[in-house]
Amino acid sequence: MDVDLRDLELLEALDRGATLTAAAQQLYLSQPALSQRLIRLEERLGTPLFERRGRRLVANRAGRRMVQAAHSTLAELRAATHDVRRTGQGRAAPVRLTSQCAGTYQWLPPVLRAFRARMPGVEVLIEHLPDTEVIPALLRGDLDLALVTKLDAGMTQLRLHHLFDDELVAVVAEDHAWAARALVRGADFADAHLVLVDAYDPRRVPAVALPIPPGAHPGRLTTAPVTTDLIIESVVTGDAVTVMPLWTVAPYLTGHGVAAVPIDGPNQRRTWYCATRHSEQSEAVDAFAEVLVETLTRTGPEAHTPPRVLQAHGGNAS
């Protein structure tokens, strides 16, 4: 075979770092040694894999195909190694999962109860990752399963099971001027103090688009590494507004002094998926995915949404 494990690690490192220097640091090699390894790989394959653009290396068509193979192969090897080590220690491998936009996991308890009834003794580990790292972590084998909603090029390499659709809504205090409105529009945010989790910090690279209609510019934006509870509290005790998925804020709409208001715009609707790798998974991962799909497809956000909110959103939240 013309490609070995070290070649796959080289391709993965170049895809992550985009420069020989960054890839060399990741693999604990000198830059000249890494450059020679890449040259030898391209010679064995009979074609260049990357194009130089300044200091950056950009994969060409052949390179993208090899990078895709490197990611999937290494992910499967890491996952298999992890499982075998756990088996050798006499323990079942845990199910490792996360969720994008993970301000709350109110959906998790019924899923865990159903899963433990089916597979008692298997541990479930919740990982906390930035939204942009969820798909790469799945492809690397650092995760087994994720709830995802944000489009990513890497999602084409994953198995996606549709869960439900929901929408992003404005969340305000019950005495806020928006609370009595049927909906708010992008222009309304011009005078608003918008509070969001720090994933939306515009100084981050790459920047994440704000969860408001395109062209809307908030009068003031505050981002902080806070939980859903703290954001809700900042909304209730001040004149700030926030934007959250309806199914995330639904548990707070009774007895917490907040209201959810629809936002006008086609981009406020989102689809949620259960994402796993295409490669064969452990029995526990398959079972957890089945339970998750069964539970959330059956209930979706409606199970957590008071009737008065469903009526305000056209009688159906999903």
Longest dimension (CA), the chain: 69
Q: What is the pLDDT of residue 205?
A: 65
Please, what is the average pLDDT of the chain?
A: 83
Which H, E and C letters describe 154-186, residue by residue? HHHHEEEEEEEEEEEEEEEECCCHHHHCCCECH
Query: What is the mean predicted confidence (pLDDT) over 249-258?
Result: 88
| pLDDT tens digits, one per residue of 59-112 | 898 888 888 888 878 877 877 776 676 666 555 678 999 988 766 677 788 899
SS3 call for 208: coil
Determine the average pLDDT of the residues in 149-167: 82
Peptide linkage before 251 cis (omega within 30 of 0): no
Task: Give yes or no on whether 76-157+277-298 and 165-268 have one common fold.
Answer: yes
Q: Find, among 292, 257, 274, 128, the residue nearest to 197 by Cα.
A: 128
* pTM over the 0.75 mark: no
268-317 per-position pLDDT tens digit: 888 889 999 888 788 899 999 999 999 888 765 555 444 334 444 443 33
Tell me the C-alpha distance between 73 and 41, whole Å: 17
User: What would the pLDDT profile of 226-252 be if each residue is shown by its tens digit?
Assistant: 778 888 988 998 889 999 888 888 888
Q: Which CATH architecture fits 76-157+277-298?
A: 3-Layer(aba) Sandwich (3.40)
At residue 145 the predicted structure's pLDDT band, cuts being 50, 70 and 90, is very high
pLDDT digits (tens, 9 = 90+) for 162-181: 988 888 999 999 999 999 99
CATH code given to domain 165-268: 3.40.190.10
pLDDT tens digits for range 173-218 = 999 999 999 999 999 999 899 999 887 888 776 677 888 998 889 9
d(CA 15, CA 265): 35
Q: What is the CA radius of gyration of the chain?
A: 23
182 exposure class (CB count in 10 Å sphere: 0-12, 13-18, 19+)? exposed
In 3-state terms, the chain is what percent helix, strand and coil (to 5)?
45, 20, 30
- Per-residue pLDDT tens for 51-74? 888 778 888 988 888 888 888 788
Distance, in Å, from the CA atom of 67 to the CA atom of 157, rounded to the nearest integer, reads 12
CB proximity list for 73: less than 8 A, separation 6 or greater: 8
Q: Cβ atoms within 10 A of the Cβ of 2, count?
A: 9
Measured CA to CA, the distance from residue 37 to residue 29 in angstroms comes to 11
CA distance 178 to 194: 13
CATH fold label, 5-74: Arc Repressor Mutant, subunit A (1.10.10)
- Angle among Cα 53, 59, 63 to the nearest 5 degrees reads 150
104 contact partners, CB below 8 Å, separation of at least 6: 227, 228, 248, 251
- Distance from C-alpha of 11 to C-alpha of 37, rounded to nearest angstrom: 10
Between the CA of residue 295 and those of 102, 108, 127, 290, 309, what are the distances in Å? 18, 10, 21, 9, 21
The DSSP call for residue 241 is B
Q: What residue segments make up the domains of the chain, in order of their start?
A: 5-74, 76-157+277-298, 165-268
Q: Which amino acid type is present at position 113? A: R
